[in-house]
Amino acid sequence: MLPMRLHLMLPAAALGLGLVMLPGPGDAATRPRPIHPERQKMSPDARRDAVLADLEDVLTGPAGPAEVATRPYASYEAGLCRRDMVVLSYAVAPGDNAWRAPLKPMGISRVYTQYHFLGERDGRSPAAWAKECAALSGSKAEWVTSKDDDDAYNAFVIRDVAIAAVKAGDPGVTFDCKDPYAEPGSTTDQGPDSSIPAEQCGTGFVAAISGITGLGTCPDKSDCFGYGSSDYLFTITLDFTTGKRKIRITMLRNQDIIIT
């Protein structure tokens, strides 16, 4: 049962002369700057060695059995740090026994991004934010998977707004812990009922949503963000249609979350 899915969009990468967009003379203008144009004059081997040296320089984060993280760095959103996770793919050589032959690295399976939120924009310089992000290297910071900088920043801000409102006992906060697919008359078979009993609805929300592992936008809804942890699924929606801020929070048990 999945009331939401968190999707990760992976941009296609092109080999050859890379470009990076830099601010131009105007605030909204950008201009392309070639990345290391001098390398076009190198021999293929020298160029490869230079790129591999760059790769070794950035892949200094923690590693799992088949993935490794880059060092933390500042995103395009002030107060938001990011790191990129590179996942390798493995297979046995053609003709080898699929269960007994050693697995060999074959390529890169995917690249996804994780974020850590330092706080909302407060006037600090980009250099100051970058320094704080770099200081996260080697720490046990909270890292959360999301699609891009913009989604991650907005979702973190809305989460913190909801946490503050719940702590303050804001009467504009409402909880809904009923699984919509488990309602009487539902003809959609989405798996086990993920509802939370009414007497427990909202209990432990602050602690539970502080331990999320993924976040993203709600499909076809504005001012709504979805969050997933090992135990719960959440959505938080802001509503200003009445002239007063209302915060609607759905909280369900996590029976089967997929973060892609």
d(CA 241, CA 238): 9
H runs (alpha helix) in the chain: 44-58, 126-134, 149-167, 205-209
d(CA 197, CA 178): 8
Give the position of tokens 């131009």.
24
d(CA 197, CA 252): 10
Burial label, 228 (beta-carbon count in 10 A; 0-12, 13-18, 19+): buried
Q: Which residue has the higher pLDDT, 258 or 88?
A: 88
Residue 61 in this model has a pLDDT that exceeds 80: yes
Q: Which residue has the higher pLDDT, 234 or 183?
A: 234
Contact indicator for 236, 158 with CB cutoff of 8 Å: yes
d(CA 123, CA 104): 49
Residues contacting 196, CB < 8 A, separation 6+:
177, 251, 252, 253
Ranked by mean pLDDT, which of 32-41, 61-70, 216-225 comes out on top? 61-70
Q: How large is the average pLDDT for residues 193-206?
A: 81
Domain ranges of the chain: 43-145, 157-253
- Write the CA distances from 120 to 30, 78, 79, 117, 246, integer angstroms: 25, 7, 6, 8, 21
Residue 190 in this model has a pLDDT that exceeds 90: no
Q: 200-246, pLDDT tens digit by residue?
A: 888 888 888 888 999 999 887 878 999 998 888 899 999 888 888 99
Length of the chain: 260
Q: Which residue has the higher pLDDT, 32 or 45?
A: 45
CA pseudo-torsion sign 108, 68, 132, 53: negative
Nearest CA among 73, 80, 162 for reference residue 119:
80
Q: 131-164, pLDDT tens digit by residue?
A: 999 999 887 888 999 999 999 999 999 999 999 9
Contact indicator for 28, 11 with CB cutoff of 8 Å: no
Residue 234 has a pLDDT of 92
Helix (H, G, I), strand (E, B) or coil at 155: helix
Residue 16 has a pLDDT of 40
- Window from 1-5, 131-135, 137-141, 190-194 with minimum mean pLDDT: 1-5
Residue 14 has a pLDDT of 31
d(CA 82, CA 73): 6
Q: How large is the average pLDDT for residues 54-78?
A: 94
